[in-house]
Each structure stands twice: as structure tokens, then as C-alpha cells.
Amino acid sequence: MSSSSLIPTTEPRFRVPDARGRFGQFGGMYVPETLMTPLLDLTKAYDEARRDPAFQQAFADMLRDYAGRPTGLTFAESLTKHAGGARIYLKREDMLHTGAHKINNVIGQALLAIRMGKKRIIAETGAGQHGTATAAVCARFGLKCVIYMGAVDMERQALNVYRMRLMGAEVRGVEAGQRTLKEAVNEAMRDWVTNVRETHYILGTAYGSHPYPMMVRDFHRIISIESKQQILRAEGRLPDAIVACVGGGSNAIGAFFEFLDEPSVRLIGVEAGGRSISKGEHAARFAGGRLGVLQGCMTNILMDGEGQIEGTHSVSAGLDYAAVGPEHSYYREKGRVDYAHATDSECLEAFQLLSRTEGIIPALETSHAVAHGVKLAASLPKEQVIIINLSGRGDKDVWSAARAMGTEIKL
């Protein structure tokens, strides 16, 4: 694969974002004045880098030699038989170094930080996969690394906390608010404001102020570049649907991007339905949210009529977030991408199902996509084909999943 294909210099027919970082009415730059200059500098630096063949080649080399791309597209024969309908393929982002799609974006942003002369990296993390990827890449490049993580998430993702520290990162627990991902983002942004001259903030999802949603999407576009080529080789045609879980939305936007101009391909994002779609019991922004501004952009947010952010819940730390990436809000408004949700119980069932049928333990985030994907496959004719983006592996989740299912693992 040529390196020039990895980062898009043109957009699909929707042509977003615009010069102001807007996806229609969504997106933008809603940040303190102290962050406007670094964000404009970052926008300029990325615009130059994405058109620089040397930068693209370095990105392509790292994806291949360090991250382990291309990832496979696996026909899930046993899972297909279980569903009894459409043929199911799994895009194997779980096979990447550090265990998830997150490393695609971290490599791209780390290379950009080095290009900009930044020697200190900060990041937020929920499930710990973005933090782990950031710690790994910072170790590889010799960059100082600080990771912010909610105290609740640190407890349920203790293995990833240890992995981050093992690779030299400083992990700072956040005790404010719900002590989950939203609060970790807040602390990372406070750090960036204070240390902006020497620090780059590697935001982990397709969210926040421009240029982050565009930049993160572009670094994850490789997922759909590969899967489009792979499904054409395997089936001789495009899939009928692609399913991916959606927290902030980075794995999903990467999996969807190359198919946006293919109207025959249904694109389905799956949010966290939690215990139920009632206040404080879920993280399904399209099922219970409204338009608002949070942490840098305008998008769909779980908040009340007075603009107060509502509590969220999900068995998966990576989907436990009150807002969704602005590009997802845009495609939903345009009718190009559909959004569903899976409950905690459906997620845990899918977590076990994929493990038992294919010998692949999915992340709890990914299990939401598996749950909906299997349901969708069962409703479709056997000649149809769907791809489920397997965004991450579930090693990190075994303890918390077992506990959620009533079992304590004792070593």
C-alpha cells in the first residue's frame, strides 16, 4: 500500500469539516482564549504535515513496523453459523500492538508533536487503551508522558494502569465528579493550558476542538482503506453493512470513512445503552441527548434542559462519556449513518459469545458492536455480508467483566 493513501487530502462528498472546523452545525473551536493560539498552530502544522510525503511515509512505516498493520479481516464462520443469517467478518484492530485501534492515532499525533518540537505528551484515557498506546509510543520516541484517568476507571482497568506505568508513563488519577473519562479530559485540558509551550495533548478520540476530530479521523482512516480492499478480495463486492461501537467515535469514523460515498453500504454505530435509557443509566447520546457544547465542540450531549451534564453509566469504561464526536452528529443528521445502542447485559452476552464461538475475547467497548452486529446478521439473508470492527481485545476487561457477571477471579 502506498503511503500517500494513508492520510486523505480530499474529503468524501459531504466535504467536512469546513475551514472553521465545522461539520454542518457541529464541531468548531469552543475553548479558552489561552488555547486558541496552540490550536491554530496545531491546525497549521497538521495541514502542512498531511501534505508532506516524508511525514506520510514515516506514518506508514510506523503503522507497519511498530503497530503491526495491515490487520486481518477474519471470516467469523462459527459466529455466522450461530447468527444464522448474513456472513460476518471481523476487522481485527484487536491484533495491533497494545491491543486496540488507538495506536493508529497516537503514532500520527506523536510524529506531529515531534515535528512541532514538543517533548512532553499528555493524554486522557477511559478504558486505558489510548493511555497504553500513548505510553508505548512515548517510550519508543523518548517523550515524557503523563496520562490522566478517572479514579473509577483506574480501579476497573488496573491492568492497563500497570502497563502504562511499566512503560514509563506517569498516571494521574482524577477524583473530581464521576471520576471517569469526562473528568480525565478536563484535567488534561487544564494541564495543556498551563504547559502549552512544551506540551502536546494527544486527544484519544474523534472529539474536542478543531482540528482534533478531523485529525483523529484521518489517522484512523487506514481501518476502512484496508477493510475495503480486503472485503473486495474475499467476497468480490462491498459489504452490506459495517458495524462499530461509538464512544467518542474514533474507531467507528475510521471504519466508516472510505464507505461514506458507497450508498449501498449501511453504516451503523453502536452506543452504550447501559442499564436502561433513563437519566444517569446509559451513555447513548443519540437516544437521550441534545445539542450543546462540551470540552471544545458543539455536538449531541447528555445534559438537562438547563445545560447541566447528566451522569452516565456503561459497563465499558471507554464508552462511559456524555458526548459524541461532532462528525457522527453530522452524519446522523444527514441520514448517512444510523445509530443503535446495546445494553450492559447484551454487551456481556456478546463478550462471552465471541469468546466461545471464535476464540477471540473482545473489549467490552467492542462487545457492544458485536451484540448489535450479531442481531443484525440474524435478520439478514445468508447471501449478505457485514463487517464488525473489532476495535480492541478484551484482556484488560476480564476481571471487570467477570465481576459484572458475578464471579471474582482469585489468583
pLDDT of 328-372, one tens digit each?
Answer: 999 999 999 999 999 999 999 999 999 999 999 999 999 999 999
Give the C-alpha separation, 245 to 354, whole Å. 15
Domains along the chain with CATH numbers: 31-66+102-216 (3.40.50.1100), 69-99+222-404 (3.40.50.1100)
251 or 7, higher pLDDT:
251
Helices then strands (H, E): number in the chain?
A: 16, 14
pLDDT at 410 over 80: no
The confidence score (pLDDT) of residue 4 equals 43
Of 8, 22, 18, the C-alpha closest to 209 is 22
**259 pLDDT higher than 50:** yes
Question: Can you name the residues that pair with 90 across neighbouring β-strands?
Answer: 74, 388
Active site residues: 102, 124, 391
pLDDT of residue 9: 59
- Is pLDDT above 50 for 3? no
d(CA 129, CA 157): 9
- Overall average pLDDT of the 171-186 stretch: 92
